[in-house]
């Protein structure tokens, strides 16, 4: 699952001219979306589960739509 998310992040990054990846967080069960050469977390790290995958995909979709604000509903 991590490899698929990372490939999608890389593809989106190429389209919007950002270096993007999905990386493991502090432990192997957590992931986050990173941007830039320094791999700064722009989402997460969160526990890797279906909810996290949905949020990461929604975040990537919003970036592709060039939304100016990307905020999670609480």
pLDDT tens digits, the chain, 74 residues: what are they? 889 999 999 999 999 999 999 998 888 889 999 999 888 888 889 999 999 999 999 999 999 998 877 666 55
- How many domains is the chain partitioned into structurally? 1
Q: Is residue 69 part of a domain?
A: no
In a domain, 32, yes or no: yes
Of 74, 70, 56, 40, give the one whose Cα is nearest residue 6.
Answer: 56
The range of the structural domain enclosing residue 40 comes to 2-64
Would residue 42 count as lying in a domain?
yes
Q: Tell me, yes or no, whether 71 lies in a domain.
A: no
> What residues contact residue 72 under an 8 Å CB cut-off, 6+ apart?
55
């Amino acid at each position: 699952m991590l490899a698929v998310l990372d490939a999608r992040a890389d593809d989106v990054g190429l389209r919007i001219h950002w270096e993007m990846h999905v990386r493991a967080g502090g432990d192997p069960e957590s992931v986050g979306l990173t941007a830039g050469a320094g791999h700064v977390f722009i989402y997460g790290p969160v526990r890797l589960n279906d909810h996290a995958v949905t949020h990461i995909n929604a975040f990537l979709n919003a970036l592709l739509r060039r939304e100016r604000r990307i905020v999670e509903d609480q």
